[in-house]
Amino acid sequence: MPSKKTRINLTVDDDMNELLAELAALQGVPKTTLVYEYLEAMRPHMIEIRDAIRMVNEKKDPAPHLRKMLMNTQQDFLDVLKEELKYD
């Protein structure tokens, strides 16, 4: 059954193609699945960046939004670090 999702063309250099192929093989998934999953993982960050760019385009100060992004990223890092330290 054909997918109803929008398809996009993506051109990458040879090094990126080799990296994607190796990562996909190591995880046992097709390259397209790997790229899709990476993009899905980046979706929240892409939304935040989009919102910051919109603010700039609307001549609004993006600093509060960017600070919030930074704090969220730092909190995510601390959460991962705490989890890792549990196993040491």
Give the pLDDT of residue 66.
87
Distance (Å, whole) CA 76 – CA 5: 30
Higher pLDDT, 43 or 72: 43
Average pLDDT over residues 14-18: 98
Q: Tokens representing 35?
A: 């790229």
Average pLDDT, the chain: 91
pLDDT at 56: 92
The total number of structural domains that make up the chain: 1
- 3-state DSSP percent of the chain in helix, strand and coil, to 5: 75, 0, 25
Residue 7 forms part of a structural domain: no
Domain membership of residue 35 (yes or no) is yes
* 18 falls within a domain: yes
What pTM value is reported for the model? 0.70
Q: What is the pLDDT of residues 27-61, one digit of tens each?
A: 999 999 999 999 999 998 899 899 999 999 999 99
- Asked whether the predicted pLDDT for residue 6 surpasses 90, the reply is yes
Cβ pair 24, 31 in contact under 8 A: yes
Determine the structural domain holding residue 50 and report its residue range: 14-86
The per-residue pLDDT for 84 is 85
